[in-house]
Amino acid sequence: MKQYMFTPGPTMVPAEALLAEAAPMIHHRTPQFSTVLMEVTEWLKEIMGTKQDVYILAGSGTAAMEAAIANTCSPGDKAVCVAGGKFGERLGEICQVYGCKTKVITLEAGRSFTAEQAARALDETPGARVLCITQSETSTGALTDVESIAAIARERETLLVVDAITGIGIHPMRMDEWGVDVVVSGSQKGLMIAPGLAFIAVSPRTWKAVEKCTSPRFYLDLAAMRKNLQKKTTAFTPAISLIRSLHCTLTMLRQEGLENVFARHARLAEATRAAMAALGLKLVAECPVNGVTAVWAPDGIDTDKMTKKMRDEWGVTMAGGQDELKGRVFRIGHMGYVSEEDLLVAIATVERALREFGYEFEPGMGLVAANAVLFGGR
Amino acid sequence: MKQYMFTPGPTMVPAEALLAEAAPMIHHRTPQFSTVLMEVTEWLKEIMGTKQDVYILAGSGTAAMEAAIANTCSPGDKAVCVAGGKFGERLGEICQVYGCKTKVITLEAGRSFTAEQAARALDETPGARVLCITQSETSTGALTDVESIAAIARERETLLVVDAITGIGIHPMRMDEWGVDVVVSGSQKGLMIAPGLAFIAVSPRTWKAVEKCTSPRFYLDLAAMRKNLQKKTTAFTPAISLIRSLHCTLTMLRQEGLENVFARHARLAEATRAAMAALGLKLVAECPVNGVTAVWAPDGIDTDKMTKKMRDEWGVTMAGGQDELKGRVFRIGHMGYVSEEDLLVAIATVERALREFGYEFEPGMGLVAANAVLFGGR
């Protein structure tokens, strides 16, 4: 059965990038690998909107999230973390593990954190070392306006840590222009390769905090990363095949043009939202992201069962809900290597599943709505 | 130019495993991936000689080394670390980063740490939390007798941490039988896949130390790894493509038979040693490992230049020396996907390079010696 992935990471990987991963092994302490590493690093800087280094870790996105905290926060430091869902919660947990006095701001599912809330939270927590936010909260599909929050954090000398794991390559990130201090990301989302790489970039003022930070770190030590990148290498053995695969997808994204990549994701998201509205369904997020659409299931439909049927019987993988959204939400991933044409498969599959599970609506109306956004005729 | 890799990791990867890495992406929270994960885990348990869980991290081997310390050592704990080379030194550095009172025993290059030295060191450091050793020190090619040292550590209630990164799949490891407490390894050595996975297994008595350990850890938290593996999944997004590639190489190693795999490495090492002796060259290690042979270069030959010529002009990659061995030592990797036939390429290339750099010997004598060990006729 032909397989389709509409998951919010890992995503479908272009065949070119799969084959790049399968190239014969090369050694990492060679000019050949250094060339690849430095090109990938330059291209990641473009995509993150920074002139600072971007460090590539062998690890999951969570490793980069921990690197952000382990290099900036010492025990007793104050941290403000926004938990708009599962991934925001994780940054709060990491701060707690590192002994921070951690204020966790829990948002109602689907709400986005605002600059006003940021100002209030930081005014209530003077001297906070870090404010941690999630650009694109994968569990609810809610978007955070990073730019406006960065301005608030900058005024108050608090470092803004942004989990952009499902943001990079989907939404613009202008790290330097907006004044973001730490950006972390991962490989299996907008960057379209397999999971196993994580990325971190830090601002000049972050380095001052890094120097003072007393938390233990070795594998995640930013200073070691910086020192080695200056020598065009990595501190520890890099995930060579994944980096070569990333070289391939970054080439593809640059050929498409980053602005076009962002516009495609916006179109895919708009079409998905239009389709869900046409089916009478509500989104979880009030301000939705462009990489994934989280949708409240109709009453009485268990989305775990629904997504299992899609995957096991029809070969189409989507995600259900996590934690308190489990069973109640389904999530259509449309990030990375997803074309406008592909999206029709996702919408038709959602329609088919909803019908099977007893939801009543006029068949095809989701497709008609998506088609209008994607291919015109509205 | 056809490329050959005789490096002590990353090693050559079988085409079957490269292609497994290139299989279309699947999602990790699926029964399909759980099946792969649990099979790979069972096979790693066999190869490590343990009934305990083996946890698979997305990361370099160093991540697993840090996990060993971060989960067992609290600030002020005593640690004894054996630095027989670059990789042994690293475990000492990690202990220091975690605030341990760290006694580093620096061995002369090529020496192996003995049970007698272990007994003395632990008697001088009563109550040491960990004793850290390297089974196969990649930088010098020296082998440590893990079994005899494990007995010493067990008597003194010190946890024995073994870096087996270039040991696993090359030398036997009988973790449970020998009473080793923590074994760490990596993917790009005897296990024959790309770098990017690290492994850690811990003994039941290690878990007691883990519970008491106050060091911060999140990505490397063993308790989270255990909890998730019980649910047939991983705490964080796994490196899916690398794990599927590992499923392929572990299948190959099981088909060859682990005892045969160890015997092949022993033959490759013996043939390499015989060849170097025939060329009048001396090994760095007094008790050499079977995965890599480190050789002192003849006076006046710079091994950085020698290995560069081999790689850039002839397509054969070997390693030079590291740190204080830089320029003075070359290292022939014969671990992983290296056949007896392949080894002739390595020996012929060493001969050719030595001649080019002015060393005088009877050409072909290395090959004759290797051939006798590999294919008989002695």
Output the CA angle A102-A107-A109, nearest 5 degrees: 135
Output the CA angle A118-A198-A44, nearest 5 degrees: 85
Extract the tokens encoding B305.
């230049």
Q: Name residues 123-142 of chain B within 8 A of A (Cβ).
A: none
Mean pLDDT (whole number) for A196-225: 98
**Which phi-psi region, left, alpha or beta, contains residue A23 (left: φ > 0; alpha: ψ -120 to 50)?**
beta
**Taking each helix axis from N to C terminus, what angle separates A222-230 and A204-212, rounded to the nearest 10 degrees?**
130
Neighboring chain B residues of A240 at a CB cutoff of 8 Å: 10, 194-196
Q: Name residues 53-72 of chain A within 8 A of B (Cβ).
A: 57-63, 66, 70
Q: What is the pLDDT of residues A111-162, one digit of tens each?
A: 999 999 999 999 999 999 999 999 999 999 999 999 999 999 999 999 999 9
Q: Which of B25, B214, B330 to mutate to test the interface with A (most CBs of A within 10 A)?
A: B25
Could you say which of 3.30.70.100, 3.90.1150.10, 3.30.365.10, 3.40.50.1970 is the CATH number of the domain covering A4-9+258-375? 3.90.1150.10
Q: Do B241 and A7 touch (CB under 8 A)?
A: no
Do B303 and B231 form a contact (C-beta atoms < 8 A)? no
Neighboring chain B residues of A58 at a CB cutoff of 8 Å: 58-60, 63, 195-196
Neighboring chain A residues of B61 at a CB cutoff of 8 Å: 236-237
Whether B292 and chain A come into contact, CB under 8 Å, resolves to: no
Query: Which is nearest to A179 in space by CA: A198, A211, A206?
Result: A206
Q: What kind and span of H or E run contains B296? A: strand B292-296
Average pLDDT of chain A is 97
Q: What is the pLDDT of residues A329-345, one digit of tens each?
A: 999 999 999 999 999 99
> Distance between CA atoms of A111 and A285, rounded to whole angstroms?
6
* Maximum separation of any 2 CA atoms in chain A, in Å: 62
Question: What percentage of chain A reaches a pLDDT higher than 90?
Answer: 98
Q: What pTM was computed for the model?
A: 0.97
Domain(s) of CATH 3.90.1150.10: residues in chain A: 4-9+258-375
Q: Do B61 and A236 touch (CB under 8 A)?
A: yes
Q: Are strands A101-106 and A78-83 parallel, antiparallel or unpaired?
A: parallel
- Grouping H, G, I as helix, E, B as strand and the rest as coil, residue A352 is helix
- Grouping H, G, I as helix, E, B as strand and the rest as coil, residue B19 is helix
- What pLDDT was estimated at residue A86? 87
Neighboring chain A residues of B12 at a CB cutoff of 8 Å: 24-25
Residue B187: closest C-alpha in chain A = A239
- Give residue B157's Cα distance to chain centre: 26
The answer to whether residue A325 scores a pLDDT higher than 90 is yes
The CA distance from A60 to the nearest CA of chain B, in Å, is 6
Q: Do A242 and B11 touch (CB under 8 A)?
A: no
Q: Which of A5, A16, A25, A193 to mutate to test the interface with B (most CBs of B within 10 A)?
A: A25
Do A4 and A345 form a contact (C-beta atoms < 8 A)? yes
Average pLDDT of chain B is 97
Neighboring chain B residues of A236 at a CB cutoff of 8 Å: 60-63
Facing B27 at nearest CB: one of A7, A27, A30 = A7
Q: What is the pLDDT of residues A244-294, one digit of tens each?
A: 999 999 999 999 999 999 999 999 999 999 999 999 999 999 999 999 999
Q: What is the pLDDT of residues B260-288, one digit of tens each?
A: 999 999 999 999 999 999 999 999 999 99
Q: Which of B236, B240, B243 to mutate to test the interface with A (most CBs of A within 10 A)?
A: B236
Q: How many residues does chain B have?
A: 378
Residue A194: closest C-alpha in chain B = B241
Facing B239 at nearest CB: one of A97, A194, A240 = A194
Q: Do B237 and A19 touch (CB under 8 A)?
A: no
Q: For A125-194, where are the alpha helices, taking DSSP H only?
A: 146-155, 175-178
What's the N-to-C CA distance of chain B in angstroms? Answer: 34
Q: How far is CA B311 from CA B141, B314, B348, in A?
A: 21, 6, 14
Whether B74 and chain A come into contact, CB under 8 Å, resolves to: no
> Distance between CA atoms of A290 and A136, rounded to whole angstroms?
9
The CA distance from B234 to the nearest CA of chain A, in Å, is 11
Q: What is the pLDDT of residues B348-376, one digit of tens each?
A: 999 999 999 999 999 999 999 999 999 99
Q: Do A62 and B236 touch (CB under 8 A)?
A: yes
Whether B8 and chain A come into contact, CB under 8 Å, resolves to: no
Q: How far is CA A287 from CA A144, A145, A269, in A?
A: 8, 10, 12
CATH class given for the domain over A15-254: alpha beta
Q: Are strands A182-186 and A197-202 parallel, antiparallel or unpaired?
A: antiparallel
The answer to whether residue A75 scores a pLDDT higher than 90 is yes
Domain(s) of CATH 3.40.640.10: residues in chain B: 15-254
Q: DSSP letters of A227-281?
A: HHHHTTS-SS---HHHHHHHHHHHHHHHHH-HHHHHHHHHHHHHHHHHHHHHTT-
Whether A2 and chain B come into contact, CB under 8 Å, resolves to: no
> Distance between CA atoms of B137 and B284, rounded to whole angstroms?
11
Extract the tokens encoding B165.
């990164």
Can you tell me which residue has the tokens 């080394």? B65
Burial class (CB in 10 A: 0-12, 13-18, 19+), A377: exposed
- What pLDDT was estimated at residue A375? 96
Facing B236 at nearest CB: one of A25, A60, A216 = A60
- Half-sphere exposure for A50 (CA within 13 Å, toward CB): 25
- What pLDDT was estimated at residue B86? 87
Can you tell me which residue has the tokens 């080695």? A228
Q: Are strands B142-143 and A78-83 parallel, antiparallel or unpaired?
A: unpaired
DSSP code for B25: P
Q: What kind and span of H or E run contains A78? A: strand A78-83
Neighboring chain B residues of A187 at a CB cutoff of 8 Å: none
Q: Do B215 and A216 touch (CB under 8 A)?
A: yes
Can you tell me which residue has the tokens 């001297």? A127
- What pLDDT was estimated at residue B133? 98
Q: DSSP letters of B51-81?
A: SS-EEEEES-HHHHHHHHHHTT--TT-EEEE
The CA distance from B239 to the nearest CA of chain A, in Å, is 4
DSSP code for A323: G
The answer to whether residue B377 scores a pLDDT higher than 70 is no
Q: DSSP letters of B186-230?
A: ESSSTT-S-S-EEEEEE-HHHHHHHHH--S--STT-HHHHHHHHH
- Grouping H, G, I as helix, E, B as strand and the rest as coil, residue B184 is strand
The CA distance from B155 to the nearest CA of chain A, in Å, is 30
> Distance between CA atoms of A235 and A225, rounded to whole angstroms?
6
Neighboring chain A residues of B216 at a CB cutoff of 8 Å: 70, 97-99, 215-216
Q: Do A239 and B22 touch (CB under 8 A)?
A: no
Residue A378's pLDDT band, with cuts at 50, 70 and 90, is: low
Mean pLDDT (whole number) for B218-240: 98
Neighboring chain A residues of B11 at a CB cutoff of 8 Å: 25
- What pLDDT was estimated at residue A87? 87
> Distance between CA atoms of B42 and A10, rounded to whole angstroms?
25
Q: Do B239 and A9 touch (CB under 8 A)?
A: no
- What pLDDT was estimated at residue B378? 58
